[in-house]
Amino acid sequence: MDFAFSAKEEAFRTELRTWLENNLPQGWLDGTFPLVKDTKDYELFLRQWQNQLYEGGWAAIAWPKKYGGRDATLMEEIVYHQEMVRVNAPALVNYVGIHMVGPTLIHIGTEEQRARYLKKILTGEEVWCQGYSEPNAGSDVAAIQTAAVKDGEQWVINGQKVWTSFGHMADKCFLVTRTAKFEKKHKGITCFLADMHQEGVEVVPIISMDGHHDFNEVYLNDAKATDAEIIGEVDEGWRVIIALLMHERTGIGAQVFTLEQQFNELVDLARQATEDGESLLTKQAVRKSLMDLYMKTRGSLLNYYRNLTKSLKTGQPGAEGSMDKLLVSELTKQLLAQSISIQGHQGLLWKDDAVVGKSYWQDNYLYSFGQTIGGGTSEIQKNTIAERILGLPKDMGR
């Protein structure tokens, strides 16, 4: 297989690299940019960065040009992800909107919905979250209890969502509700494009073990929605959910490039760290563990390329995205655990006491546990792979 990029793709890389050099915040590349997280200032900074991407034509390159994208090819998307990882670009505050809601609206939504929502997704004017997970449903999206009942011209929604990423920043929510009960639980589901700022929506922060506020609980108490805010058909929302999840897991799979970058950073960490006056890279056990991680991360990358090749042929993301998601999230956790181990006692230090990178590795290690849950747990991914790729019978426990 030829892994080289074409002249057109390399020209695309040069264009993006030049734009990033000219538009990243001053001090970003040399690490002197004063960034404070978990504040309104940080949210404003991320929204401004999103709008800057839009103005430069880099907010959603894979979208059709008529909706504000660049009609980028899958290979150009790969180049895009590689370059963004290379400079550790600011986080995409509207990740849910760009990679999930927007593509789903383009695929399934009405022209009125596209005109209403797509541009504001690109500019960062409206940030999106997902209303999927519920306290008693685990990873079973179809086992939802949040109910939407038609009342005249409106739908009245009551229920609770949990682990809602970006919920504290979100203006809109891709909300999954139960609108009818059938023998098959996948029937009777309806998806709404709900307003997060209305009366009847309460967002409660969940502080994770790394001390950050990434997740939220969302309480819906007589929240309202209209027919115009339904995506797809009433009671036929499962098809919409599947379409969105395919886009989500494809986007998560592209994190293989972040994994590759973190492996290189781990090698640098081992080179700089010493024991008895010698670099840890001289230690056989450390070299063996790094080689094991290298083979796994390289295998993950090659598997991603294989699945990408299939997508190039079919034009649609497939169940193979579950393979990429499973490998990347589990390997990321292994790699970051190794980073803590390599630091020895210093790996236990926290925040300002941390010797290496002001707890960069500690923060990412703790966050990595959530990566094996978000976007579908590792167990769910294994079931998907077994049933939809290997053709094995369904899990009898479900």
80-134 tens-digit pLDDT: 999 999 999 998 999 999 999 999 999 999 999 999 999 999 999 999 999 988 9
Euclidean distance between CA atoms 168 and 163, whole angstroms: 11
pLDDT given for residue 47 in this prediction:
95
pLDDT score recorded for residue 206: 92
Q: Which of 83, 134, 248, 320 is catalytic?
A: 248
- Report residue 93 CA to chain centroid gap: 10
Q: List all residues 6 or more positions away from 137 whose beta carbon is below 8 Å from its beta carbon.
A: 143, 144, 145
The predicted structure's pLDDT at residue 4: 80
Q: Looking at the predicted structure, is the pLDDT value of residue 398 above 80?
A: no
Specify the CATH superfamily of domain 7-93: Acyl-CoA dehydrogenase/oxidase, N-terminal domain (1.10.540.10)
Q: Do residues 68 and 58 lie in contact, with contact meaning Cβ atoms separated by under 8 Å?
A: no
What average pLDDT score do residues 51-58 get?
96
Alpha-carbon distances, residue 252 vs 100, 165, 258, 340, 389 (angstroms): 11, 14, 10, 24, 18
Least confident piece of the model among 38-42, 143-147, 148-152: 38-42
What does the radius of gyration of the chain's CA atoms come to, in whole angstroms?
A: 22
Q: What is the pTM of this model?
A: 0.87
Region for 138 from its dihedrals, namely left if φ exceeds 0, alpha if ψ lies in -120 to 50, beta otherwise: left
**Could you tell me the pLDDT band of residue 250, with boundaries at 50, 70 and 90?**
low
Give 142's pLDDT tier (boundaries 50, 70, 90).
confident
Average pLDDT, the chain: 89
Under the banding of pLDDT at 50, 70 and 90, the label for residue 37 is: low
Residue 50: per-residue pLDDT:
96
Would you say 176 and 141 are in contact if contact means Cβ atoms under 8 Å apart? yes
Q: Sorting pLDDT into bands at 50, 70 and 90, what band is 305? A: confident
Confidence grade of residue 226 (pLDDT, cut at 50, 70, 90): very high
Positions of CATH 1.10.540.10 in the chain: 7-93
Going through the chain in order, the beta strands assigned E by DSSP cover 128-131, 147-151, 154-161, 172-178, 189-195, 201-207, 213-225, 230-231, 274-275, 278-279
**pLDDT-derived band of residue 346, with 50, 70 and 90 as boundaries?**
confident
CA-CA distance, 91 to 95, in Å (whole number)?
8
pLDDT band at 20 (very low <50, low <70, confident <90, very high): very high
Residue 248 annotated among the catalytic residues of the structure: yes
In the predicted structure, residue 316 carries a pLDDT above the cut 70: no
Residue 123 CA, chain-centre distance (Å), reads 18
Confidence of residue 329 (pLDDT cuts 50, 70, 90): very high
- Considering the chain, tell me which residue range(s) the CATH 1.20.140.10 domain(s) occupy: 255-389
Q: State the pLDDT at residue 273.
A: 87
The per-residue pLDDT for 356 is 60
- Report pLDDT for 375: 73
Instruction: Determine which of 150-159, 226-235, 248-257, 386-395 has the lowest per-residue pLDDT on average.
Output: 248-257
Lowest mean pLDDT, pick from 18-22, 191-195, 261-265, 370-374:
370-374
Burial 3-28 (b: 16+ CB within 10 A, else e): eebeeeeeebbeebeebbeeebeeeb
pLDDT given for residue 394 in this prediction: 81
CATH architecture of 128-235: Beta Barrel (2.40)
Of the chain, the end-to-end C-alpha distance in Å amounts to 40
CATH 1.20.140.10 fits 255-389, yes or no: yes
CA distance 213 to 330: 22
Per-residue confidence at 246, pLDDT binned at 50, 70, 90? low
Return the closest-CA partner of residue 359 out of 188, 194, 245, 210. Answer: 210
Q: Residue 33: pLDDT above 60?
A: yes
- More confident of the two residues 37 and 73: 73
pLDDT score for 252: 57
